[in-house]
Amino acid sequence: MTLPETFIRAFERRAGLYENRLDECFRLFNAGGDGIDGLTIDLYGNYLLVQLYFDGVYDRAAEYLPAIEAAMAGLPRRPLGLLVKDRRKIDDGDGFTVRRSSEIAWGEAPRAGYGVRHNGITVVVDLMHGQHTGLFLDMREIRRALEPYYPAAERLLNLFSYTAVFSVHALRCGARSAVNVDLSGPALGRARENYRANGLNCDDRDFIRGDSFDWLRRFNRNNRRFDLVFFDPPTFARNKQGNFSVKKDYRAALDAIGWCAPGGYVLSTINTASVSGKEYRSFHPPDWELVYYANESADFVYKTRPYLKAGLWKISS
């Protein structure tokens, strides 16, 4: 099979996704699952974002890009631009991965504040700067499955909220209020952008800059309760308060969430293939009920096993 045929075959597998008017962003090519380890292609509205994760694929970029451009001719809509981001892990000397901007391989760059439709809401994305765009596409089907639970939710808590896509989607689907906690000021700034893009009121009390675990303790001390909690932590995190590891600290975090939301629900996730679905389930208290379980969206075709484990749990009273 030629390189253009490899991309054409992957694009054809996702052709039906173009018919959904509520979504205009999804994964068109998923690394080894589609035949090339370390290379992904995502559609964000009118733009394609190619990301190169390994030295081997980066060194062959001059070979891959013309093949991708040739395969684009078969897409239902021709993009306005083809963007390429180097996502190789290169240490800057201080223990942090070097962040790079995307390069324009073909066409034009998106304007600042560019928004895309995702699960029926507008999400402002940055396809040019930084490691992440502001939207994790692998959660699309999980978000959709949660929609029936939102109208009954009076108070939401979004931990590690990032750009608050979960909160925006919930509020637009009937939830009453949401509190977003994240350590990053810029992420919370982008969360406010997403609120405004969807006509939601921006109350500063709903955006808390700080450590999610510290704020869990504060909410419990103040007897503050929630109906639904989003818990989508990084696999490993380090800050002034200490380190967090899903292997070591996940269960303790869930216990604290249980105190904050007795009788409510929690969406908990783990984003690593090193934790199995069975192990993920074992982290949860035995008296919690698993209502819904899923892996990454179907367009994230995996080579061996899924990396994302997500479940909606009913917390015991």
Domains of the chain, residue spans = 3-119, 136-314
**Residue 95 pLDDT:** 55
Residue 99, pLDDT above cutoff 70: no
What is the mean pLDDT of the segment spanning 162-174? 98
Under 8 Å between Cβ of 312 and 267: yes
Q: How far apart are the first and last CA of the chain?
A: 57
How far apart CA 59 and CA 223 sit, in angstroms, is 55
Q: Quote the CATH superfamily of domain 136-314.
A: Vaccinia Virus protein VP39 (3.40.50.150)
* pTM of the predicted model as reported, rounded to 2 decimal places: 0.93
Token code pair at residue 201: 């009121």
**Residue 89 pLDDT:** 83
- pLDDT tens-digit map of 49-86: 999 999 999 999 999 999 999 999 999 999 999 999 99
**Residue 246 pLDDT:** 78
Rounded to 10 degrees, the C-alpha dihedral 230/233/239/242 comes to: 100
- Confidence band of 237 (pLDDT split at 50, 70, 90): low
Helix or strand (DSSP H, E) at 103: strand 103-107
CB count in 10 Å sphere of residue 180 = 26
Residue 264, pLDDT above cutoff 80: yes
Residue 92, pLDDT above cutoff 70: no
Task: Name the CATH topology of 3-119.
Answer: Transcription Regulator spoIIAA (3.30.750)
